[in-house]
Structure 1
Amino acid sequence: MPTMPAPFTTDDYRARMARAADAAAEAGLAGVLVAPGPDLVHLTGYRPVSTERLTMLVLAADREPVLVVPTLEAPDAEEAAGAAAFTVRDWTDGKDPYAVTAPLLDADGRFGVSDNTWAMHLLGLQRQLPGTSYTSLTEALPMLRAVKDAHELALIEAAGAAADETYHEILKVRFAGRGEAEVAADLAALLKQFGHSQVDFTVVGSGPNGANPHHEAGDRTILHGDMVVLDFGGLKHGYGSDTSRTVHVGEPTPAEQHVHDVVREAQQAGFEAVRPGVACQEIDRAAREIIEEAGYGDLFIHRTGHGIGVTTHEPPYMIEGEEQSLIPGMCFSVEPGIYLPGRFGVRIEDIVTVTEDGGRRFNNTAREMAIVE
């Protein structure tokens, strides 16, 4: 059995919360309000269910972290607090949770709020403190989770290796004559076999369905002669995997091979552009230039990449207009594609991390077109 990674420590979580509070202060915010979801997991390791009952972490540069929770969840929160070093303040059913939270906030402050906060909770705080204002954490602190430490990098690398093992195994199954959903189920089972606790997506886009980048695997029967886009990933030990390869059932036509070769060249160009100090948009430009020069620019219809960590999609984004500089420890996808409506699609994707002098892939399966049966 694979060795379980060591858990994050109290010092890890304390440092993350302090960095978030300091970053908020530098951005002119009075603090950060974090609801259940990926930001709370990253900052504290606590994974409560998001419900109509308010749970909210309050961070400010000049105060100790406080987690407001329903009384019935206080025991779990107290246990988490021992590992993450925050104070628990609970409220009972029938009481106003916003009145409990309000004294923790500056009455006229502006706060960064995690993107998945329920509207009813934000409105409740506004009723209690009409002088406050709020902004999305993604807008205010887009780099909150973007730069990974060595422990996080090791977890993302392990998730990528598990996805690579999944790809190696899926090449052994039969495609022709089977439904897309059957192959998608094989992918999900393999991801779990190789240690994933959560499967987020298993795209199997055969033939014309491959021209839809986020095609949901359906009941279409995969045919001999089909190009098939495979895009799959999820969470292993709490960190994400995401990879794409495009295979062919039987030998491809010269036209199909040409499109695949263009995407492979574009993906390589995007990877080679990765280095510290380069703006995120330069990764998109490098990959897109190859596809445009080949005459398929209008058929590359999405950004070149997205960040990955405790979720499979998060900042930073590799897209024109994103001027954030790459920093060692950032992890993101490089995944150009070409999509010919009614015919087929091709996408090749690796997760990449920024190193001190360039980039390193966390997916290392062959990028040449694989032939399957």
Structure 2
Amino acid sequence: MTGTPAPFTADDYTARMRRAARAAGDAGLDGVLIAPGPDLVWLTGYRPPETERLTLLVLRPGEDPALVVPALEAPDAAKAAPMLALRDWTDGTDPYETASDLLGRADRTGRTGGRFGVSDNAWAMHLLGLQNRLPDTAYVALTDALPMLRAVKDAAELQRLAAAGAAADAAYEEIREVRFAGRRENEVAADLAGLLRQFGHSQVDFTIVASGPNGANPHHEAGDRVIERGDMVVLDFGGLKHGYGSDTSRTVHVGEPDAEERRVHDVVRAAQEEGFRAVRPGAACQDVDRAARAVIVEAGYGEYFIHRTGHGIGVTTHEPPYMVEGEERPLVPGMCFSVEPGIYLPGRFGVRIEDIVTVTEDGGRRLNTTEREMAIVE
């Protein structure tokens, strides 16, 4: 596997914050407000505890970034993100007053108040506290205002995503060698989680093992069902390595499949290939969904493909952009997302095949390279 990449620097994070502030201005916002969560980690490298105490990064065009932080956490914040100006507050005081000094002051035109993008995972109590203190301000979800903020990855981010994908591939190659028949789904899922950690994942987010009729539920949680010979088994697993996500799906069969099972798997494999072939700069996100879906519809299984074809991935395993009908945003080099069509036959079985793909200058590149043909397991 690849070695550990060099950590992001204060200059890297400063550049990201400046880019976010400029994007906010271009979108007609007076700034963005970032609560603890993936946006804050991506922008600053700081991962504070997510508690009832207000922590808030304030980015405004043309101004230095500032972090409102509880005083008891200020030393950790200063160490993790030395490029930030800290505005600390102590228990027993009003944190929204501290924040209002950054949000409510007059801008360069003399106007007070303003309209701010807010990270999606901000606590409602904090947003309501700001609204109460600053009734002239307005807020919009960051996914609506700046959906592409983290979507285009640089070379260092692509290196991390590729390493995460390679680790997930290695886990798949190993899991194919374990025994499935006679074991419970959650036992195989535990094997998968162990393999992801063995190959360098610091965090395992999900290990779907959906056997037989459970495979018809795309988000089935591995349970106590005993896997039997003759079962189709959907494997979907991923997590974080070097802070970036993996997510891959393959569908295996315990023993020899019948003709219909082979046909459904072949249809999904062809759909996944067509979705991948649709990836190119300038194509709309929905074009990827349309290309994959058309294969499944033509084969007569359209009603059994019940989810979008893909989702973005980065410091989280689900983020914009989304490969779904109605998303006309163009693909640009550096975007990374899944291509994962599926067919789900209720009460019988399901098939899903998923790769993470990045947009290149002339097409797309898979970050998962394990074979997509049906694997036979014991």
What does the per-residue CA deviation read over 1:22-55, in whole Å, with 9 as the maximum and x for residues that have no partner? 0000110000000000000110011111110000
Alignment-derived partner of residue 131 in structure 1: 136
Question: SS at the partner of 2:81?
Answer: helix
Amino acid at match of 1:5: P
Question: SS at the partner of 1:122?
Answer: helix
Alignment-derived partner of residue 57 in structure 2: 57
In structure 2, what is the Cα distance between the partners aligned to 1:307 and 1:77?
A: 29
- 2:236–2:248: 8 Å Cα contact kept in structure 1? yes
Alignment-derived partner of residue 363 in structure 1: 368
Q: What does 1:175-190 align with in structure 2 at a 5 Å threshold? A: 175-190=180-195
What does the per-residue CA deviation read over 1:83-124, in whole Å, with 9 as the maximum and x for residues that have no partner? xx2111100000000000001014420000000000000000
Alignment-derived partner of residue 109 in structure 2: none
In structure 2, what is the Cα distance between the partners aligned to 1:62 and 1:191?
A: 43
Give the TM-score of the pair, scaled to structure 1: 0.99
- 2:45–2:81: 8 Å Cα contact kept in structure 1? no
Q: What does 1:1-373 align with in structure 2 at a 5 Å threshold? A: 3-82=3-82, 85-106=83-104, 107-373=112-378
In structure 1, what is the Cα distance between the partners aligned to 2:363 and 2:354?
A: 18
Give 1:62 deviation, angstroms: 1.9
Amino acid at match of 2:103: L
Q: Give the 3 Å change call, closer, same or farther, for CA 323–2 of structure 1 in structure 2.
A: closer
In structure 2, what is the Cα distance between the partners aligned to 1:46 and 1:263?
A: 41
Amino acid at match of 1:146: A
In structure 1, what is the Cα distance between the partners aligned to 2:335 and 2:50?
A: 28
In structure 1, what is the Cα distance between the partners aligned to 2:365 and 2:11?
A: 28
Question: SS at the partner of 1:203?
Answer: strand
- 1:81–1:88: 8 Å Cα contact kept in structure 2? no
- 2:249–2:353: 8 Å Cα contact kept in structure 1? yes
Give 1:174 deviation, angstroms: 0.1
- 1:81–1:87: 8 Å Cα contact kept in structure 2? no
Question: SS at the partner of 1:29?
Answer: coil
What does the per-residue CA deviation read over 1:267-323, in whole Å, with 9 as the maximum and x for residues that have no partner? 000000000010000000000000000000000000000000000000000000001
In structure 2, what is the Cα distance between the partners aligned to 1:115 and 1:332?
A: 20
- 2:2–2:163: 8 Å Cα contact kept in structure 1? no
Structure 1 stretches of at least 4 aligned residues deviating more than 6 Å after TM superposition: none
Question: SS at the partner of 1:12?
Answer: helix
In structure 2, what is the Cα distance between the partners aligned to 1:317 and 1:145?
A: 13
In structure 2, what is the Cα distance between the partners aligned to 1:229 and 1:218?
A: 13
Question: SS at the partner of 1:283?
Answer: helix
Residue ranges of structure 2 left out of the alignment (5+ in a row): 105-111
Give 1:2 deviation, angstroms: 5.6
Amino acid at match of 2:24: A
Amino acid at match of 1:344: F
- 2:161–2:244: 8 Å Cα contact kept in structure 1? yes
Q: Give the 3 Å change call, closer, same or farther, for CA 30–64 of structure 1 in structure 2.
A: same
- Tell me the C-alpha RMSD between the 2 structures: 0.8
In structure 2, what is the Cα distance between the partners aligned to 1:141 and 1:216?
A: 32
Question: SS at the partner of 1:64?
Answer: coil
In structure 2, what is the Cα distance between the partners aligned to 1:321 and 1:2?
A: 38
In structure 2, what is the Cα distance between the partners aligned to 1:58 and 1:80?
A: 17
In structure 1, what is the Cα distance between the partners aligned to 2:48 and 2:78?
A: 12
Question: SS at the partner of 1:263?
Answer: helix
- 1:223–1:249: 8 Å Cα contact kept in structure 2? yes
Give 1:205 deviation, angstroms: 0.4
Give 1:341 deviation, angstroms: 0.1
Give 1:5 deviation, angstroms: 1.0
In structure 1, what is the Cα distance between the partners aligned to 2:239 and 2:309?
A: 19
- 1:64–1:87: 8 Å Cα contact kept in structure 2? yes
Question: SS at the partner of 1:276?
Answer: coil
Give 1:180 deviation, angstroms: 0.2
Give 1:160 deviation, angstroms: 0.0
In structure 1, what is the Cα distance between the partners aligned to 2:158 and 2:68?
A: 31
Residue ranges of structure 1 left out of the alignment (5+ in a row): none
Question: SS at the partner of 1:221?
Answer: coil
- 1:205–1:229: 8 Å Cα contact kept in structure 2? yes
Amino acid at match of 2:209: V
In structure 1, what is the Cα distance between the partners aligned to 2:81 and 2:221?
A: 40
